Amino acid sequence: MKIIMLGAPGAGKGTQAKLIAERYGIPHISTGDIFRANIKAGTPLGVKAKSFIDQGLLVPDELTLELIMDRFSAADCADGYVLDGFPRTLPQAEALAKSLLEKGEAIDFAIDVDVPDERIVNRMSGRRACLKCGGTYHVKYNPPAVDGVCDACGAELVLRDDDKPETVAKRLEVYHSLTQPLIEYYGNAGILKTVDGTQDVDKVFADIMAILD
C-alpha cells in the first residue's frame, strides 16, 4: 500500500504517518530523513544534496525525486510506504506519478488531514520546547508539571520561532499557495481521502483505518 500524507503544518500528518507505518509494517518516509541518511552515509546523491543545503538553498525537485525513488527501491518498501513531506507542489506530484508509472506503480491513497488555519495557529502557538534535552510540551494538551519548566531536565521551556503565530500564519500562506492544488490533483485522480484532523489523535487514526482497511 503506497500512501501520501497531505495536510498543513501542524495538522498532525506526521503523527498519523508513523501510526499507519506501525500498523501496516511499512516504512514512514520523510524527505528530511532521506536527506539526513544520505548525507550521513556520504552517498553520491547525499553529497549533491549537501552542496545545496550548505548554501542555504532548497534541494532541487529533480534531486529530491531521485533520492525518493532510490529509497523506494529498498527492500523494506516491498509492501508499500507512507510518504510524508513530498510532494509539496503540483509539479512534484506530476513528476512522482510519472516516475512511478515508469515502474508500473502508482500511489494508492492520498490522505488529507484537514484542520482549519485558526485551529492550527492556536495548536502550534501553544507548543513549548526544551532546548536542552529536546522535550516538547503544549500549554493546553501536554503541559509540564511546573509551568515553563521541563519535566525531564528542569531547563526553561521556550516558544520556538517556528511556532510563533506570525510565523505559523506565513507557513500556512505558503502551504495554501503551493500545496493546496495537490488536493484537487489527487481528488481528480480518485485517490484523495479527507479526515477531520481536529479530533483527538486516536479518532483521526480510526478514521484513517476505516479508509485503508
- Please give the share of the chain, as a percent, with pLDDT higher than 70: 100
Q: Which of 31-35, 97-101, 201-205 has the lowest mean pLDDT?
A: 31-35
What integer pLDDT is reported at residue 55 of this predicted model? Answer: 87
What integer pLDDT is reported at residue 162 of this predicted model? Answer: 84
Q: How far apart are CA 159 and CA 138, in angstroms?
A: 10
What integer pLDDT is reported at residue 46 of this predicted model? Answer: 92
In a domain, residue 65? The reply is no
The CATH number that applies at residue 167 is: 3.40.50.300
How do residues 122-161 score in pLDDT, each as one tens digit? 989 999 999 999 899 999 889 999 999 999 999 999 999 8
Domain of 15, in residue numbers: 2-27+74-212
Mean pLDDT of 32-57: 90
Helix axes 44-53, 31-41, angle to 10 degrees: 110
Q: How far apart are CA 79 and CA 73, in angstroms?
A: 11
Q: Which positions are annotated as active-site residues?
A: 13, 88, 127, 160, 171
**At residue 151, what are phi and psi to the nearest 5 degrees?**
-60, -40
Domain count, the chain: 1
Alpha carbon distances (Å) from 32 to 36, 85, 129: 6, 8, 20
Please give the model's pTM, rounded to 2 decimal places: 0.84
In a domain, residue 89? The reply is yes
Q: How far apart are CA 110 and CA 97, in angstroms?
A: 12
In a domain, residue 40? The reply is no
